[in-house]
Amino acid sequence: MATVEIKNVRKSYGPVEAIKGIDIAIQDGEFLVLLGPSGCGKSTLLRMVAGLESITGGQVVIGGRVVNDLEPKDRDIAMVFQNYALYPHMSVFDNMAYGLKIRGVDKAEIESRVAKAAEILELGRFLTRRPSQLSGGQRQRVAMGRAIVREPAAFLFDEPLSNLDAKLRTQMRIEIKRLQDRLGITSLYVTHDQVEAMTLADRVLVMNHGVAEQIGTPLEVYQRPASLFVAGFIGSPPMNVLDAVIDPSGQGVMMPGGALLPLARPRPNDANRPVKLGIRPEHLAINEDGLDTSPVLVELVEALGADTVVYGRLPDGEPLLIRMSGLPSCTEGDRLAVAPQPGALHLFDTATGRRLED
Amino acid sequence: MQRRVIFDNKLLPYLLLAPQVAVTLIFFIWPASQAVWQSVHIQDAFGLRSEFVWFENFTAILSDPNYVGTLRITAVFSLSVAVLSMAVALLLAALADAKIKGAAVYKTLLIWPYALAPAVAAVLWMFIFNPEIGSLGRLLNAMGYNWDYRLNGDQALTMVILAASWKQVSYNFIFFLAGLQAIPRSVLEAANIDGAGPVRRFWTITFPLLSPTTFFLLVVDMVYAFCETFGTIHALTHGGPGKATETLIFRVYQDGVVNNDLGASSAQSVLLMVILIVLTTIQFRFVERKVHYS
Amino acid sequence: MSNEHTAGPHSVGRRLIDLVPHIVLIVGVLIFAFPIYVTLIGSTWDAATIGRGSLPMTPGGEAWTNYSQAWSESHGERASYTPVRLMLMNSLIMALSIAVGKIAISILSAYAVAFFRFPLRMVFFWMIFITLMLPVEVRIIPTYKVVADLGMIDSYAGLAIPLIASATATLLFRQFFLTIPDELVEAAKIDGAGPLRFFFDILLPLSKTNIAALFVILFIYGWNQYLWPLLVTNSADMETIVIGITKMIGTGEAANDWNLIMATTVMAMLPPVAVVVFMQRWFIKGLVDSEK
């Protein structure tokens, strides 16, 4: 049980800076998800915490101890890898016990810890099997068992579910969540899958190009994306982003087609300012009155059963995604009058892409 | 070239390499450089002084008609062994690769000669072709053919070529079979549908696709014929009669060990190393183009 | 015969064509087996029968006499030899030392080259690599001098050590090590394994099949050495069995102890042939992999 602090951590490969100074303090027992596209530096950051990559600048502190110069084995962490990284020539029991044996834990203690982990993970029947005799999900559980038996200060997960098929991934996601709730061990979890991030995290750190775009709870990240990048990365289908201008009175925002959308909170200081306007597809509704809204030409309708996604086009040619619950109520070629739900507008600076706070 | 994840340790890698490097330095690099040094020097009769003579030793051996004869015999011998053993191996492999009953049994019965030493293979041939005790040797003579490889140079060369090839067939067979099995069935089936018969399929599809294997084996067999067949020749003919079966290696042995002429044998050793380096370099230049065995 | 008949898949003509591969393969098998058969038969007859050139094609009654005499006695009818049991022991020690030695030093150096980064790494790699180009036969005279200067003539060390550097085995292990996933190494590091523990606990067990495959071809390589043992052994007690046979034969006179020679030959062939036949799977893997 411990806190993990990442203090202005940087990583350079020669002249290339891969991590440009990340700061975050992870509370004891907190589940932090590092989320971002591939190449954003999230895995590198995790590996620096693990001690598998050297730290170019800043500090990593685990349980109050600066671990920059410690070997991975001395950092009191356990890690679960994407491809499981089980020792193929060892039984499930030996895979889990190996780290304890090296640390000189006595035999009875090893057996009881492995037995306990096996029970939690329902691996009891498989202890004598080799990894090659297990299914993907079972292997993943062994990999977690190997981490659990160590009773470490922190768990590090590096895309642990990416090698599993969709159904198993959902199932294992729930298992990981339960496990973490039960054990309460501080966890860092790297993924590019926003669903995993939203469902597992206490807090999410969204990374892009080696910087932290936003740190917040899953709902914060969804409801108040701090940047255009976060806005586009979180949510499916992604947020619509349009070029718009704050109207002269500061009461509303003018769409390219000329329609005026009222702002929840007026911005008189920003009158006539060009902005990026973000609207989530699920926050657009068909406006029955047809007043003050732009007519959207329906180009494609995807009926997903529970939802319907409409690919539309605004009069000036900008694409617009609309997500409605239920079955489709329109077909290709229709013209729809749509309007955003009140308070569902996100404004971003055109130059920096940062959110304009209310 | 190297893995991403490595261990940080300053001393350990050197310790791990030490045994191999020590053996290499003491028994490869040092003697090889000695040979190079000696090959460009001439020692006086007492071995006290040596004089740098550029390539005199080389011009001396290369202008020696005996040595040129040895070179010619080595070339004939090596090429014959390579071509003969490959041709037989390819025929057998092509037949054993076809979907016939008992292919696995044939395979086992054809690969074991790999285990025999070249000298032992030669001895087995002697048991059969010796003009006095060998059944076939006696049969040839009884049929009126004057067979005695101990007296007739051409017969001696034929004998060592056959004995050396006989032993090498199994090696080539294993590689041809692996090469054949790596050829996708669908390619041959396509040719079949295009109307090509089995023989035509073999020469227009299979054989070209096998060419990396063939080329690789050609080099390996040449190296085998150069080096390992010393045992064959030593056991059968001792390079004779006369110098009819004296290959380069055998001559180095004769000059260096039997006649104790270090200067001449060093220059010969250097020439041999050059030939070997050329052969292996050719092999590695083409190594990427080799078939992938599954 | 009409066209319809020859075209049918079960026609007599077609069946004869199907037989051709079998006939050719059987002829091939016989060509390889015949000399062995003759030797086996010869080892069961007396020297005079063989020397007369009238060796029958069926076994004689002298097998026990011949084999037991060759196995333990140092005298035949016509000359004195090193007993087979001694020569087999020498060959076995040489073959095992070469195979085990090559594997041991190669796996260590492959480990160093693949898993560590250190100054002069590539220099060492190329130094090992060039040994591939210089088989013992081509550097025989200078190497012999070194071994003589080190006082290793007529010793097992002199027989084996100069032959145990192996670029082939090093390359094979390195190739295999490069296929080990990075995550496996990282998992071991996090579990607390240092480089030596990783080597013994993880890498060595994972290399088992490669080691077995290499062992087969290197054992045969060692067993079949000829020129080198011929040079570095003078004493009869150090003779290996392959050398022993050709020494017994000499110039191939009819008056040799052919019965003993043939029995000796059979015993010289048995160990390597047994290794190839019983470890066929590994043998083929070792052969094909190591030439990749």
Q: Per-residue DSSP letters for B219-232?
A: HHHHHHHHHTTHHH
The number of C-alpha atoms within 13 Å of B221 and in the hemisphere containing its C-beta is 32
Residue with tokens 């690919």: A311
- The nearest alpha carbon in chain B to C31 belongs to B166
> Is the ipTM reported for this complex over the cut 0.90?
no
Residues of chain A with CATH 2.40.50.140: 240-349
Kindly report the backbone phi and psi dihedral angles of residue A305, in degrees, each rounded to the nearest multiple of 5, phi listed first.
100, -85
Give the max Cα distance, chain C.
81
Strand, helix or coil at A45?
A: helix
Determine the residue type at B250.
F
- Whether the CB of B216 is below 8 Å from some CB of chain C: the reply is yes
Q: What is the distance in angstroms between the Cα of C52 and the nearest Cα belonging to chain B?
A: 6
Selection from B34-38, B233-237, C44-48 with the highest mean pLDDT: B233-237
- Whether the CB of B163 is below 8 Å from some CB of chain C: the reply is no
Bridge partners, residue B230, by sequence: none
Q: What is the distance in angstroms between the Cα of B97 and the nearest Cα belonging to chain C?
A: 10
Check CB contact under 8 Å for C183 and A73: no
Minimum mean pLDDT range among A186-200, B113-127, B130-144: B130-144
pLDDT score, position B286 = 66
Residues 107-136 of C with CB under 8 A from B: 108-109, 111-118, 121, 124, 127-128, 130-135
pLDDT score, position B244 = 84
- Whether the CB of C277 is below 8 Å from some CB of chain B: the reply is yes
- Using CB atoms, list chains with 3+ pairs below 8 Å to chain A: C
Check CB contact under 8 Å for C276 and B115: yes
Q: Which CATH superfamily is domain A240-349 in?
A: Nucleic acid-binding proteins (2.40.50.140)
- Whether the CB of A77 is below 8 Å from some CB of chain C: the reply is yes
Q: What percent of chain B has pLDDT over 90?
A: 16
Averaged pLDDT of chain B: 83
Which residues of chain C are within 8 Å of residue A95 when distances are taken between CB atoms?
none
pLDDT score, position C111 = 94
Closest CA to C241 of A161, B231, A294, A339: B231
Residues 51-80 of B with CB under 8 A from C: none
pLDDT score, position C2 = 40
Bridge partners, residue A205, by sequence: A34, A215
The number of residues making up chain C comes to 292
From the list C192, C202, C208, which residue is nearest A87 (CB)? C202
- Whether the CB of A91 is below 8 Å from some CB of chain C: the reply is no
pLDDT in tens, B170-186: 999 988 988 888 888 88
Which residues of chain C are within 8 Å of residue B271 when distances are taken between CB atoms?
none
Q: Per-residue DSSP letters for B71-105?
A: HHHHHHHHHHHHHHHHHHHHHHHHHHHSS-TTHHH
From the list C181, C192, C193, which residue is nearest A85 (CB)? C181
Q: Which CATH superfamily is domain A4-233 in?
A: P-loop containing nucleotide triphosphate hydrolases (3.40.50.300)
pLDDT tens-place values along chain C, 292 residues long:
344 444 445 567 777 777 888 888 889 888 888 888 888 888 888 877 777 777 778 887 777 887 887 788 777 666 677 888 888 999 999 999 999 999 999 999 999 999 998 898 889 988 888 887 777 777 788 888 888 889 888 899 998 999 898 888 898 899 899 889 999 999 999 998 989 999 999 999 999 988 988 898 899 999 999 989 998 888 888 889 998 888 888 766 667 788 888 888 899 999 998 888 888 878 777 777 766 4
From the list B24, B35, B262, which residue is nearest C128 (CB)? B24
pLDDT score, position A1 = 62
Q: What is the distance in angstroms between the Cα of C243 and the nearest Cα belonging to chain B?
A: 8
pLDDT band at residue B294, thresholds of 50, 70 and 90? very low
Residues of chain A with CATH 3.40.50.300: 4-233
- The nearest alpha carbon in chain A to C194 belongs to A73
Closest CA to A283 of A337, A236, A241, A340: A340
Check CB contact under 8 Å for C184 and A78: no
Distances (CA, A) of B195 to A299, B189, B190: 51, 10, 9
From the list A50, A87, A88, which residue is nearest C190 (CB)? A50
- The nearest alpha carbon in chain C to A144 belongs to C187
pLDDT score, position A329 = 82
Contact between residue B266 and residue B35 where contact means Cβ atoms under 8 Å apart: yes
pLDDT score, position C70 = 79
Check CB contact under 8 Å for C24 and B91: yes
- Whether the CB of A151 is below 8 Å from some CB of chain C: the reply is no
pLDDT score, position B140 = 85
Check CB contact under 8 Å for A98 and C191: yes
Q: Per-residue DSSP letters for chain C?
A: --HHHHHSTTSHHHHHHHHHHHHHHHHHHHHHHHHHHHHHHHTTS-HHHHHTT---SS--S-HHHHHHHHHH-SB-SSSB---HHHHHHHHHHHHHHHHHHHHHHHHHHHHHHHHB--TTHHHHHHHHHHGGG--GGGGHHHHHHHHHHTT-TTSHHHHHGGG---HHHHHHHHHHHTTS-HHHHHHHHHHT--HHHIIIIIIHHHTHHHHHHHHHHHHHHHHT--HHHHHH--SGGG--HHHHHHHHHTTT-TTS-HHHHHHHHHHHHHHHHHHHHHTHHHHHHHHHHHT-
Check CB contact under 8 Å for A71 and C193: no
Closest CA to C287 of B90, B78, B225, B112: B112
What domains sit in chain C, N to C, each tagged with a CATH number? 2-66 (no CATH), 84-288 (1.10.3720.10)
Residues 91-110 of B with CB under 8 A from C: 91-92, 95-96, 98, 100, 102, 106, 108-110
Residues B183 and B98: their CA atoms lie apart, in Å, by: 12
Q: What is the distance in angstroms between the Cα of C182 and the nearest Cα belonging to chain A?
A: 9
Q: Is the pLDDT of residue B103 over 90?
A: no
B171 CB-near residues (< 8 Å, 6+ apart): B85, B89, B114, B220, B224, C287
Tokens of C250: 């000499």
CB contacts < 8 A, B to C, total 298
Check CB contact under 8 Å for C192 and A103: yes
Interface test with C, best of B7, B15, B129 (most C CBs within 10 A): B7
From the list C105, C131, C261, which residue is nearest B28 (CB)? C131
Check CB contact under 8 Å for C196 and B111: no
Bridge partners, residue A241, by sequence: A278
Question: Could you tell me the mean pLDDT of each successive run of 10 residues in chain A, 358 residues long?
Answer: 90 90 93 93 93 91 92 90 90 93 92 92 91 90 91 92 88 89 92 92 94 94 93 90 89 80 84 91 77 75 90 87 86 84 88 86
What domains sit in chain B, N to C, each tagged with a CATH number? 66-293 (1.10.3720.10)
Determine the residue type at A158.
D
Task: Report the 10 Å Cβ neighbour count for C71.
Answer: 16
Interface test with C, best of A80, A81, A100 (most C CBs within 10 A): A81
Residues 177-216 of C with CB under 8 A from A: 181, 183-184, 186-193, 197, 201-202, 205-206, 208
- The nearest alpha carbon in chain C to A96 belongs to C191
Which residues of chain B are within 8 Å of residue C133 when distances are taken between CB atoms?
273, 276-277, 280-281
Which residues of chain C are within 8 Å of residue A162 when distances are taken between CB atoms?
none
pLDDT score, position C77 = 66
Interface test with B, best of C15, C29, C32, C84 (most B CBs within 10 A): C32
- Whether the CB of A78 is below 8 Å from some CB of chain C: the reply is yes
Which residues of chain C are within 8 Å of residue B261 when distances are taken between CB atoms?
none
Burial state string for A149-188 with b = 16 or more CB within 10 A and e = fewer than 16: bbebbbbbbbbbbeebeeeebeebbebbeebbeeeebbbb
- The nearest alpha carbon in chain C to B289 belongs to C292
Check CB contact under 8 Å for B5 and C111: no
Q: Is the pLDDT of residue B116 over 80?
A: yes
Check CB contact under 8 Å for C190 and A103: no
Q: What is the distance in angstroms between the Cα of A71 and the nearest Cα belonging to chain C?
A: 8
Contact between residue A156 and residue A77 where contact means Cβ atoms under 8 Å apart: yes
Which residues of chain A are within 8 Å of residue C189 when distances are taken between CB atoms?
51-52, 71-73
Which residues of chain B are within 8 Å of residue C14 when distances are taken between CB atoms?
none
The mean pLDDT of B46-70, rounded to a whole number, is 80
Which residues of chain A are within 8 Å of residue C183 when distances are taken between CB atoms?
81-85
Residues A271 and C179: their CA atoms lie apart, in Å, by: 62
Q: What is the distance in angstroms between the Cα of C114 and the nearest Cα belonging to chain A?
A: 17
